[in-house]
Chains A and B, each alone.
Chain A
Amino acid sequence: AQKVTQAQTEISVVEKEDVTLDCVYETRDTTYYLFWYKQPPSGELVFLIRRNSFDEQNEISGRYSWNFQKSTSSFNFTITASQVVDSAVYFCALRRSSYKLIFGSGTRLLVRP
């Protein structure tokens, strides 16, 4: 069975703090893809990153970084020096090749000025 768990329902931080959003996944497949999406108040899901199961290199994109660890089945997302515009719901998702994208329940991030 495939499953994505985002245990943090809601996180509140003050602007400029660093924040990490946790994602734990379950799958028996050796080939799979992991994603992070951002859902701002407008409702549209915005793609942030895709990582395949054979690439465990961490990735940094500006203030965003992702830590993929197959040993712990985790794909965590860190925002450095958070800003108010980062306030949104963030979803982690899992996909087998050719199969549907399964989302976690999301983490609501509130960045206070």
Chain B
Amino acid sequence: EAGVAQSPRYKIIEKRQSVAFWCNPISGHATLYWYQQILGQGPKLLIQFQNNGVVDDSQLPKDRFSAERLKGVDSTLKIQPAKLEDSAVYLCASSLLANTGELFFGEGSRLTVL
């Protein structure tokens, strides 16, 4: 069974530029998550989708971050314009069950903002 796929693995941009990350979850997993992991910290949830609807985006900085999950499968996370403090690893995860199931994570996309 293929795991969660993410791209790109690494991205370096200058502040005020834009960037987009892509995620393809495990086949059949209805729930998809985007987490931000700043160096030395635990992952923090940015947004959770159930199929193509948003369940929780309370910690998503909506003035600069956006995410979509068209057709309830793959997802894109966009940052525009980027700030220095957005430097982090962006992890995508999926789960079969929204409430009790374990999350399966991709390898992440490491963003460096200069």
Interface residues of A (CB under 8 A from B): 4, 33, 35, 37, 42-47, 50, 52, 91, 93, 97-106
Contact = CB atoms under 8 A, between A and B. Distances in A.
Q: Is chain A's binding surface mostly helix, strand, loop or mixed? A: strand
B42 A43 contact: no
Interface of B: 3, 33, 40-45, 48, 56, 89, 91, 93, 98-100, 102-108, 110
Nearest to A99: B56
Nearest to A96: B99
Contacts of A101: 33, 45, 103
21 contacts: A4-B42, A35-B102, A43-B107, A43-B110, A44-B105, A44-B106, A45-B43, A45-B91, A45-B105, A47-B102, A98-B99, A99-B56, A100-B33, A100-B45, A101-B33, A101-B103, A102-B45, A103-B42, A104-B42, A105-B40, A106-B42
Given A43-B89, A45-B91, A45-B105, A103 B44 contact: yes
Contacts of A4: 42
A97 B100 contact: yes
Contacts of A104: 42
Contacts of A91: 42-43
Given A43-B89, A45-B91, A33 B105 contact: no
A63 B106 CA distance: 25
A105 B100 contact: no
B106 to A, nearest CB: 7
